[in-house]
Amino acid sequence: MNSTLSIITYKEGTAEARRNEKRAAFESYVNAFLSRLDGIELTLEFVSFYRYQLLSYLKAKPVFILSLPEGDMISDLIKDSYESFLSALEASPFNVTGEGKKNLLESVKIQFPWQNDTDEDEDIL
């Protein structure tokens, strides 16, 4: 998808989100932001991971709308997390493939920048 088409798809997603058409908005956001990612092969495995993580992010937000820079940042974070996961898997002494790899990917929880870190002590201040 070219840059102009991804912007149009993004704007459609934002309009759908404003009309509370969350399913349609999600699909438009996926199509728009996946096409803007550089340097990654869009395999079924990655796209499934991306969709799951983006939906997790959107569902946790107070509003279901993404700004263009926010969507790009979240997409880069998802891509980096996926690549880090693959690197860790390759460095592992265990041979994890197929269903095991899929199960591990589904358990990856990205700590998005605006979310509270539940692992930290809350009594720090």
pLDDT in tens, 51-91: 999 999 999 999 999 999 999 999 999 999 999 988 888 77
**How wide is the angle at C-alpha 19 spanned by C-alphas 17 and 28, nearest 5°?**
35
pLDDT tens string 90-106: 777 777 677 777 767 77
Domain boundaries defined on the chain: 3-107
pTM assigned to the model: 0.82
Rounded CA gap, 122 and 44, in Å?
39
Rounded CA gap, 113 and 105, in Å?
20
